[in-house]
Amino acid sequence: MQLSPRRKFLQQLLAASLTGIALPSFAASTKLIAPTSVADEQYWENLKKQFSVPADYVMMNAANLCPGPIIVQEKVLELTNALNKDVSFQYRALFSATRKKSVSLLAKFVGADESELGITRNTSESNCMIVHGLDLKPGDEVIIWEQNHPSNNEVWLSQAKRVGFTVKKISVPAEPKSVNDLVQPFVKAITSATKLITFSHVSNVSGLALPVKEICQLAKARGIMTHVDGAQTFGSMIIDVHDMGCTFYTASTHKWLMGSFENGILYINKEYFGRIWPAVIGGGWKEATSVDAQLCVLGQRNEPSPAALPEALAFHETIGKKNIETRIVQLNTYLKQQLKKNVPQATFVTPLAPEFSGGIVIFNLPGKEIHEVNDKLYHTYKIAAAPSGGIRLSPHIYNTMKDIDYVVKAIGELAK
């Protein structure tokens, strides 16, 4: 069949978009560049134009969900529209190539080999794949941190009930004085039966950051596997899984990476390849030589979302991993200082020391109910926070110091 010039052009355009060649985009009107200095407030003010959050709203819940930049939103829309025009086997084959590209870029982003990383739906799914897929037996022990997310907490208890292994839940000091204060509770819980230690890098219910490398290294030296839930650090801190020494690392792309929605990552160190049984079996899993092919390619999925990950990663990397990490610490530190100064009745759940926290600030207002404050922040002031272990704020690069001043003022009014 002879293609009309228009149809031919469209096909080329779609093929180009799937193979990652830059396409004209109406979002590209403001060119994205890296800041010359992280302290340049005007740069961050301008960066807001890359997002579609209305000017009178303040999204400060990155720990929960982040808005994607317009360039990522457009890519998902463009691919969704294209797929709805052509669902042929031939056209959809192009998504396999983009998936490989996304896997490869994500792996590079966290310092993993391409074969060690798979794309799941979210951190919850990745976590549960580990819990349900590991061959543990009665008599084995798993150490979990009491502050783990339910997808890495409750699920261990239910699996232990089913299989008969033991779960040891440990706590750490809320106000650590040293790294050792955070490491020792893990060391003390280890026995000769310990098979795995699993914990959040940064807790979603306290904002406390654990010394991941120290814990992973001490476990490795004893032949114990480690699983780091990186939902609160992937995209907000520079991550190198090989340097960290973890066995498994899980995270979501719709949090601090800023897009696209409904993608997670599952990293499995190559020495442990094949140790996770698939819960859902996809074609070709037995012959698979990569985590993605063995555990994550499961039937028909929403392919435009993972296909837009190269745009999300390019956006992040153009601003710069180090710049983003530094800016998040800057915002977090300023938020803590301003709250302490202007709302003296606020009590902090998150340690004030930056070395023991990440991008999250959690606090309480004595005599005020958490959900009520959270709802008032949204309905009266258009501020998105979260009720999680207290009132949780998690500013990201689409927030500015002005936003923090506005949020602190609102909290001051609600504290009265």
Ligand X SMILES: Cc1ncc(COP(=O)(O)O)c(C=O)c1O
Least distance to ligand X, CB of residue 393, Å: 14
* Residue 149 or 396 having the CB closest to ligand X: 149
Rounded least distance, CB 280 to ligand X, Å: 17
In the bound complex, what is the minimum distance in angstroms from residue 61's beta carbon to ligand X?
10
Q: What letter would DSSP give residue 355?
A: G
Question: H or E element: which one contains 327?
Answer: helix 321-342
Nearer to ligand X, 63 or 215 (CB): 63
Beta strands in 300-350 (DSSP E): 347-348
Identify residue 87 by its one-letter amino acid code.
V
**Binding track over 106-135 against ligand X, x by CB under 6 A:** ----------------xxx-----------
Q: What is the DSSP string of 83-152?
A: HHH---HHHHHHHHHHHHHHHHHHHHHTT--GGGEEEES-HHHHHHHHHHHB---TT-EEEEETTS-GGG
- 251 pairs with which residues across the strands? 265
Is 194 or 204 the residue whose CB approaches ligand X more closely? 204
Return d(Cα 6, Cα 14) in angstroms, integer: 12
Under rule CB under 6 A, residue 204 binds ligand X: yes
Write out the binding residues for ligand X, residues 136-165 only, by CB under 6 A: 149, 151
User: What is the DSSP code (8-state) at residue 4?
Assistant: P
- Please tell me whether residue 208 binds ligand X under the rule CB under 6 A: no
Q: Please give the size of the binding site for ligand X, defined by CB under 6 A.
A: 13
Nearest Cα to 32, choosing from 321, 320, 401?
320
Dist CA 211 CA 186 (whole Å): 11
Contact window for ligand X (CB under 6 A) among 20-28, 106-114, 181-189, 225-233: 225-233
Minimum Å gap between C-beta 147 and ligand X is 9
Report the nearest approach of ligand X to the CB of residue 122 (Å): 3
Q: Quick check: 253 binds ligand X (CB under 6 A)? A: no
Chain residues binding ligand X by CB under 6 A are 63-64, 122-124, 149, 151, 200, 204, 229, 231-232, 252
